[in-house]
Amino acid sequence: MSTFLDFSFRCGDKVYKKILGEIEEELLILEEDLLAWVNTDINFIKQPLKEMILAGGKRLRPAMVLAASRFGQYDFENVRQLAVSVELIHTATLIHDDIIDDSPLRRGIPTIQSRLGKDVAVFAGDFLFSKVFELYAYSEHFDLLRIVAKVMYQICEGELKQREDLFNTELTFKDYIFRIRRKTAMLFALSAELGARASKAPEKTVRALHKYGMNVGIAFQIVDDMLDFTSDNNKLGKPVGADIREGVITLPTIYALKHSKQREFLKEILANKSADEEEIEEAIEIVKNSGGLDYAKGVAEKYVQKAQQSIAELPDIPIKKVLANISSLVTNRTK
Protein backbone atom coordinates (compact mmCIF):
# COMPACT_ATOMS: atom_id res chain seq x y z
CA MET A 1 0.00 0.00 0.00
CA SER A 2 3.02 2.31 0.28
CA THR A 3 3.60 2.56 -3.46
CA PHE A 4 1.48 5.66 -4.03
CA LEU A 5 2.88 7.50 -1.03
CA ASP A 6 6.46 6.68 -1.98
CA PHE A 7 5.87 7.79 -5.55
CA SER A 8 4.33 11.07 -4.45
CA PHE A 9 7.20 11.95 -2.16
CA ARG A 10 9.72 11.07 -4.88
CA CYS A 11 8.12 13.84 -6.89
CA GLY A 12 9.67 16.25 -4.38
CA ASP A 13 6.61 18.48 -4.53
CA LYS A 14 5.98 20.31 -1.26
CA VAL A 15 2.52 21.37 -2.35
CA TYR A 16 1.55 17.79 -3.03
CA LYS A 17 2.78 16.71 0.39
CA LYS A 18 0.34 19.22 1.87
CA ILE A 19 -2.47 17.69 -0.14
CA LEU A 20 -1.52 14.21 1.05
CA GLY A 21 -1.57 15.46 4.61
CA GLU A 22 -5.30 16.21 4.29
CA ILE A 23 -6.59 13.14 2.45
CA GLU A 24 -3.68 10.71 2.53
CA GLU A 25 -5.55 7.87 4.19
CA GLU A 26 -8.43 7.98 1.73
CA LEU A 27 -6.08 8.11 -1.28
CA LEU A 28 -4.16 5.10 -0.04
CA ILE A 29 -7.40 3.13 0.28
CA LEU A 30 -8.32 4.15 -3.26
CA GLU A 31 -4.99 2.80 -4.49
CA GLU A 32 -6.01 -0.66 -3.30
CA ASP A 33 -9.49 -0.17 -4.80
CA LEU A 34 -7.99 0.67 -8.19
CA LEU A 35 -5.91 -2.49 -8.19
CA ALA A 36 -9.01 -4.52 -7.34
CA TRP A 37 -11.08 -2.95 -10.12
CA VAL A 38 -8.45 -3.59 -12.83
CA ASN A 39 -7.99 -7.19 -11.75
CA THR A 40 -8.78 -9.80 -14.38
CA ASP A 41 -8.36 -13.54 -14.95
CA ILE A 42 -6.75 -12.82 -18.33
CA ASN A 43 -3.15 -13.28 -17.26
CA PHE A 44 -1.25 -11.61 -20.08
CA ILE A 45 -3.04 -8.27 -19.51
CA LYS A 46 -3.34 -8.56 -15.74
CA GLN A 47 0.23 -7.51 -14.91
CA PRO A 48 0.50 -4.64 -17.44
CA LEU A 49 -2.72 -3.09 -16.10
CA LYS A 50 -1.49 -3.47 -12.54
CA GLU A 51 1.84 -1.88 -13.42
CA MET A 52 0.12 1.04 -15.10
CA ILE A 53 -1.91 1.70 -11.96
CA LEU A 54 1.16 1.39 -9.74
CA ALA A 55 3.11 3.79 -11.97
CA GLY A 56 0.74 6.31 -10.51
CA GLY A 57 0.37 9.90 -11.45
CA LYS A 58 -0.70 12.35 -8.79
CA ARG A 59 -4.31 11.08 -8.57
CA LEU A 60 -5.57 14.66 -8.87
CA ARG A 61 -8.98 13.62 -10.16
CA PRO A 62 -9.81 11.27 -7.26
CA ALA A 63 -8.42 13.91 -4.90
CA MET A 64 -10.89 16.41 -6.37
CA VAL A 65 -13.78 14.01 -5.81
CA LEU A 66 -12.80 13.61 -2.16
CA ALA A 67 -12.15 17.31 -1.61
CA ALA A 68 -15.38 18.46 -3.26
CA SER A 69 -17.43 15.98 -1.25
CA ARG A 70 -16.38 17.74 1.97
CA PHE A 71 -18.58 20.70 1.02
CA GLY A 72 -21.67 18.56 1.61
CA GLN A 73 -22.51 15.64 3.88
CA TYR A 74 -19.13 13.98 3.72
CA ASP A 75 -19.03 10.19 3.87
CA PHE A 76 -15.98 8.49 2.37
CA GLU A 77 -17.84 5.27 1.67
CA ASN A 78 -20.45 7.26 -0.25
CA VAL A 79 -17.91 8.74 -2.67
CA ARG A 80 -15.27 6.03 -2.66
CA GLN A 81 -16.36 4.36 -5.88
CA LEU A 82 -16.88 7.71 -7.62
CA ALA A 83 -13.26 8.59 -6.93
CA VAL A 84 -12.20 5.25 -8.39
CA SER A 85 -14.37 5.77 -11.46
CA VAL A 86 -12.70 9.02 -12.57
CA GLU A 87 -9.25 7.46 -12.33
CA LEU A 88 -10.41 4.42 -14.33
CA ILE A 89 -11.76 6.73 -17.03
CA HIS A 90 -8.50 8.66 -17.03
CA THR A 91 -6.40 5.49 -17.28
CA ALA A 92 -8.53 4.14 -20.13
CA THR A 93 -8.09 7.37 -22.09
CA LEU A 94 -4.32 7.20 -21.56
CA ILE A 95 -4.22 3.67 -22.97
CA HIS A 96 -6.16 4.77 -26.04
CA ASP A 97 -3.99 7.91 -26.37
CA ASP A 98 -0.91 5.73 -26.49
CA ILE A 99 -2.40 3.70 -29.32
CA ILE A 100 -3.20 6.79 -31.37
CA ASP A 101 0.20 8.38 -30.69
CA ASP A 102 2.12 5.09 -31.01
CA SER A 103 3.80 6.00 -27.71
CA PRO A 104 6.51 3.63 -26.45
CA LEU A 105 6.45 4.95 -22.88
CA ARG A 106 3.87 6.18 -20.36
CA ARG A 107 4.91 7.34 -16.88
CA GLY A 108 8.35 5.93 -17.55
CA ILE A 109 7.23 2.37 -18.30
CA PRO A 110 6.49 0.63 -21.63
CA THR A 111 2.94 1.28 -22.81
CA ILE A 112 0.50 -1.58 -23.18
CA GLN A 113 0.36 -1.05 -26.94
CA SER A 114 4.16 -1.26 -27.24
CA ARG A 115 4.26 -4.42 -25.13
CA LEU A 116 1.27 -6.33 -26.38
CA GLY A 117 0.14 -4.62 -29.58
CA LYS A 118 -2.49 -2.07 -30.48
CA ASP A 119 -5.30 -4.61 -30.69
CA VAL A 120 -4.76 -5.78 -27.12
CA ALA A 121 -4.42 -2.18 -25.92
CA VAL A 122 -7.78 -1.27 -27.47
CA PHE A 123 -9.45 -4.05 -25.52
CA ALA A 124 -7.56 -3.07 -22.36
CA GLY A 125 -8.93 0.47 -22.58
CA ASP A 126 -12.41 -0.84 -23.35
CA PHE A 127 -12.11 -3.19 -20.38
CA LEU A 128 -11.57 -0.23 -18.06
CA PHE A 129 -14.45 1.73 -19.57
CA SER A 130 -16.67 -1.32 -19.04
CA LYS A 131 -15.54 -1.44 -15.42
CA VAL A 132 -16.73 2.15 -15.01
CA PHE A 133 -20.20 1.21 -16.25
CA GLU A 134 -20.25 -1.79 -13.93
CA LEU A 135 -19.23 0.40 -11.01
CA TYR A 136 -22.17 2.77 -11.54
CA ALA A 137 -24.64 0.01 -12.31
CA TYR A 138 -24.13 -1.54 -8.89
CA SER A 139 -23.63 1.64 -6.87
CA GLU A 140 -26.00 4.06 -5.17
CA HIS A 141 -25.08 6.66 -7.77
CA PHE A 142 -26.61 5.18 -10.91
CA ASP A 143 -28.38 8.53 -11.42
CA LEU A 144 -24.99 10.18 -11.98
CA LEU A 145 -24.16 7.88 -14.90
CA ARG A 146 -25.91 10.27 -17.30
CA ILE A 147 -23.43 13.03 -16.39
CA VAL A 148 -20.51 10.61 -16.62
CA ALA A 149 -21.58 9.29 -20.03
CA LYS A 150 -21.87 12.83 -21.41
CA VAL A 151 -18.36 13.68 -20.27
CA MET A 152 -16.99 10.45 -21.74
CA TYR A 153 -18.28 11.28 -25.20
CA GLN A 154 -16.99 14.86 -24.84
CA ILE A 155 -13.55 13.46 -24.04
CA CYS A 156 -13.79 11.40 -27.23
CA GLU A 157 -14.74 14.56 -29.13
CA GLY A 158 -11.61 16.24 -27.81
CA GLU A 159 -9.43 13.37 -28.93
CA LEU A 160 -11.09 13.28 -32.34
CA LYS A 161 -10.67 17.04 -32.70
CA GLN A 162 -6.97 16.68 -31.94
CA ARG A 163 -6.75 14.00 -34.61
CA GLU A 164 -8.58 16.20 -37.11
CA ASP A 165 -6.24 19.11 -36.39
CA LEU A 166 -2.93 17.26 -36.79
CA PHE A 167 -0.34 19.32 -38.74
CA ASN A 168 -2.82 22.20 -39.01
CA THR A 169 -0.74 25.36 -38.60
CA GLU A 170 -3.81 27.62 -38.84
CA LEU A 171 -5.13 26.68 -35.39
CA THR A 172 -6.26 29.56 -33.17
CA PHE A 173 -6.25 30.00 -29.41
CA LYS A 174 -10.01 29.37 -29.46
CA ASP A 175 -9.53 26.09 -31.35
CA TYR A 176 -6.93 24.98 -28.83
CA ILE A 177 -9.06 25.78 -25.77
CA PHE A 178 -12.06 23.99 -27.33
CA ARG A 179 -9.93 20.88 -27.74
CA ILE A 180 -8.32 20.79 -24.31
CA ARG A 181 -11.59 21.56 -22.52
CA ARG A 182 -12.94 18.32 -23.89
CA LYS A 183 -9.77 16.26 -23.96
CA THR A 184 -8.67 17.06 -20.39
CA ALA A 185 -10.63 19.68 -18.46
CA MET A 186 -14.04 18.00 -18.64
CA LEU A 187 -12.81 15.10 -16.50
CA PHE A 188 -11.44 17.47 -13.85
CA ALA A 189 -14.77 19.31 -13.80
CA LEU A 190 -16.65 16.00 -13.60
CA SER A 191 -14.50 14.89 -10.65
CA ALA A 192 -15.34 17.99 -8.63
CA GLU A 193 -19.01 17.84 -9.60
CA LEU A 194 -19.41 14.16 -8.70
CA GLY A 195 -18.01 14.68 -5.21
CA ALA A 196 -20.26 17.66 -4.59
CA ARG A 197 -23.44 16.06 -5.96
CA ALA A 198 -22.93 12.76 -4.16
CA SER A 199 -22.59 14.57 -0.84
CA LYS A 200 -25.71 16.66 -1.55
CA ALA A 201 -23.90 19.99 -1.57
CA PRO A 202 -26.01 23.05 -2.52
CA GLU A 203 -26.45 23.54 -6.28
CA LYS A 204 -24.54 26.83 -6.12
CA THR A 205 -21.62 24.96 -4.59
CA VAL A 206 -21.81 22.23 -7.24
CA ARG A 207 -21.61 24.85 -10.00
CA ALA A 208 -18.68 26.59 -8.33
CA LEU A 209 -16.76 23.34 -7.96
CA HIS A 210 -17.50 22.31 -11.54
CA LYS A 211 -16.16 25.65 -12.76
CA TYR A 212 -13.12 25.24 -10.51
CA GLY A 213 -12.38 21.81 -11.97
CA MET A 214 -12.75 23.07 -15.53
CA ASN A 215 -10.30 25.91 -15.01
CA VAL A 216 -7.79 23.69 -13.22
CA GLY A 217 -8.06 21.14 -16.03
CA ILE A 218 -7.38 23.74 -18.72
CA ALA A 219 -4.34 24.98 -16.79
CA PHE A 220 -3.17 21.38 -16.30
CA GLN A 221 -3.21 20.62 -20.02
CA ILE A 222 -1.46 23.88 -20.94
CA VAL A 223 1.34 23.02 -18.51
CA ASP A 224 1.43 19.47 -19.86
CA ASP A 225 1.93 20.88 -23.34
CA MET A 226 4.72 23.15 -22.05
CA LEU A 227 6.48 20.20 -20.43
CA ASP A 228 6.67 18.54 -23.83
CA PHE A 229 9.27 21.21 -24.66
CA THR A 230 11.05 21.62 -21.32
CA SER A 231 11.15 18.32 -19.44
CA ASP A 232 13.53 15.44 -20.02
CA ASN A 233 12.65 11.91 -21.10
CA ASN A 234 13.08 10.44 -17.61
CA LYS A 235 10.83 13.00 -15.92
CA LEU A 236 8.21 13.16 -18.63
CA GLY A 237 8.02 9.40 -19.18
CA LYS A 238 7.77 9.92 -22.94
CA PRO A 239 10.03 11.42 -25.62
CA VAL A 240 10.48 15.21 -25.39
CA GLY A 241 9.00 17.01 -28.38
CA ALA A 242 6.50 14.22 -28.99
CA ASP A 243 3.70 16.67 -29.85
CA ILE A 244 5.61 18.29 -32.71
CA ARG A 245 6.72 14.90 -33.99
CA GLU A 246 3.11 13.74 -34.04
CA GLY A 247 1.74 16.93 -35.59
CA VAL A 248 -0.09 18.11 -32.46
CA ILE A 249 -0.13 21.92 -32.41
CA THR A 250 -0.23 23.23 -28.84
CA LEU A 251 -0.37 26.69 -27.26
CA PRO A 252 3.40 27.47 -27.22
CA THR A 253 3.55 26.56 -30.91
CA ILE A 254 0.43 28.60 -31.77
CA TYR A 255 2.16 31.60 -30.18
CA ALA A 256 5.40 30.97 -32.08
CA LEU A 257 3.52 30.65 -35.38
CA LYS A 258 2.17 34.14 -34.82
CA HIS A 259 5.11 35.96 -33.20
CA SER A 260 8.40 34.27 -34.08
CA LYS A 261 10.64 35.91 -36.68
CA GLN A 262 11.08 32.39 -38.05
CA ARG A 263 7.35 31.67 -38.16
CA GLU A 264 7.30 30.89 -41.90
CA PHE A 265 10.11 28.37 -41.54
CA LEU A 266 8.39 26.91 -38.46
CA LYS A 267 5.11 26.63 -40.37
CA GLU A 268 6.89 24.79 -43.17
CA ILE A 269 8.38 22.24 -40.75
CA LEU A 270 5.15 21.71 -38.80
CA ALA A 271 3.09 21.13 -41.93
CA ASN A 272 5.58 18.54 -43.20
CA LYS A 273 4.48 15.08 -42.08
CA SER A 274 7.85 13.71 -43.18
CA ALA A 275 10.05 16.20 -41.30
CA ASP A 276 13.34 14.65 -40.19
CA GLU A 277 14.80 14.72 -36.68
CA GLU A 278 17.01 17.73 -37.38
CA GLU A 279 14.02 19.76 -38.56
CA ILE A 280 12.00 18.68 -35.52
CA GLU A 281 14.79 19.87 -33.23
CA GLU A 282 14.88 23.19 -35.10
CA ALA A 283 11.13 23.59 -34.63
CA ILE A 284 11.43 22.91 -30.91
CA GLU A 285 14.14 25.58 -30.57
CA ILE A 286 12.11 28.12 -32.55
CA VAL A 287 9.16 27.63 -30.21
CA LYS A 288 11.39 27.92 -27.14
CA ASN A 289 13.03 31.09 -28.43
CA SER A 290 9.75 32.71 -29.46
CA GLY A 291 8.51 33.37 -25.94
CA GLY A 292 5.78 30.80 -26.45
CA LEU A 293 6.54 28.96 -23.23
CA ASP A 294 6.39 32.12 -21.11
CA TYR A 295 3.15 33.05 -22.83
CA ALA A 296 1.64 29.62 -22.18
CA LYS A 297 2.69 29.73 -18.53
CA GLY A 298 1.00 33.11 -18.17
CA VAL A 299 -2.21 31.74 -19.66
CA ALA A 300 -2.08 28.71 -17.35
CA GLU A 301 -1.62 30.98 -14.34
CA LYS A 302 -4.66 33.01 -15.38
CA TYR A 303 -6.77 29.85 -15.45
CA VAL A 304 -5.44 28.90 -12.01
CA GLN A 305 -6.53 32.33 -10.78
CA LYS A 306 -9.96 31.74 -12.32
CA ALA A 307 -10.12 28.39 -10.53
CA GLN A 308 -9.35 29.97 -7.20
CA GLN A 309 -11.87 32.75 -7.82
CA SER A 310 -14.50 30.09 -8.56
CA ILE A 311 -14.29 28.76 -5.00
CA ALA A 312 -13.65 32.07 -3.24
CA GLU A 313 -17.22 32.25 -1.91
CA LEU A 314 -17.32 28.66 -0.68
CA PRO A 315 -17.25 28.02 3.08
CA ASP A 316 -13.78 28.37 4.62
CA ILE A 317 -13.43 24.77 5.68
CA PRO A 318 -9.95 23.15 5.82
CA ILE A 319 -10.40 21.25 2.56
CA LYS A 320 -10.75 24.55 0.68
CA LYS A 321 -7.00 24.98 1.13
CA VAL A 322 -6.49 21.59 -0.49
CA LEU A 323 -8.28 22.83 -3.61
CA ALA A 324 -6.10 25.94 -3.63
CA ASN A 325 -3.03 23.74 -3.26
CA ILE A 326 -4.14 21.48 -6.10
CA SER A 327 -4.47 24.46 -8.43
CA SER A 328 -1.03 25.72 -7.36
CA LEU A 329 0.44 22.28 -7.98
CA VAL A 330 -0.70 22.38 -11.59
CA THR A 331 1.61 25.24 -12.58
CA ASN A 332 4.52 24.12 -10.40
CA ARG A 333 4.81 20.53 -11.55
CA THR A 334 7.78 19.29 -13.55
CA LYS A 335 6.20 16.10 -14.96
Phi first, then psi, for residue 202 (nearest 5°) are -60, 150
47 inside domain: yes
Q: Which pLDDT score, from 0 to 100, does residue 283 have?
A: 97
Q: Are 105 and 51 in contact (CB under 8 A)?
A: no
Low-confidence residues in the chain, pLDDT < 70: 1-21, 232-239, 335
- Give the C-alpha distances (Å, rounded to integers) separating 98 from 124, 178, 281, 334: 12, 21, 22, 21
172 inside domain: yes
The model's pLDDT over 223-252, given as tens digits with 9 standing for 90+, comes to 999 999 987 655 555 567 889 999 999 999
Q: Are 314 and 71 in contact (CB under 8 A)?
A: yes
Domain that holds residue 319: 3-330
Give the integer Cα–Cα distance in Å for 308 and 324: 6
Q: Are 183 and 222 in contact (CB under 8 A)?
A: no
Q: Given its phi and psi angles, is residue 128 left (phi above 0), alpha (psi -120 to 50 degrees) or beta?
A: alpha
Q: Are 264 and 256 in contact (CB under 8 A)?
A: no
Q: Which pLDDT score, from 0 to 100, does residue 4 have?
A: 39
Considering only CA atoms, which of 215, 218, 211, 210 is closest in space to residue 193? 210
335 inside domain: no
What is the domain count for the chain?
A: 1
Considering only CA atoms, which of 103, 210, 238, 225 is closest in space to residue 176? 225
Q: Which pLDDT score, from 0 to 100, does residue 5 have?
A: 38
Distance separating the N- and C-terminal Cα atoms of the chain = 23
53 CB-near residues (< 8 Å, 6+ apart) = 31, 34, 35, 38, 91
Q: Which pLDDT score, from 0 to 100, does residue 154 have?
A: 95
200 inside domain: yes
8 CB-near residues (< 8 Å, 6+ apart) = 16, 17, 20, 56, 58
187 inside domain: yes
Rg over CA atoms, the chain:
20
Compute how many other C-beta atoms are within 10 angstroms of the C-beta atom of residue 305. 13
Q: Which pLDDT score, from 0 to 100, does residue 14 have?
A: 53
Residue 53 identity (one-letter amino acid): I
CATH no. for residue 175?
A: 1.10.600.10
For the whole model, what pTM was predicted?
0.91
Q: Which pLDDT score, from 0 to 100, does residue 238 have?
A: 58
Q: Which pLDDT score, from 0 to 100, does residue 57 have?
A: 74
According to DSSP, residue 183 is labeled: I
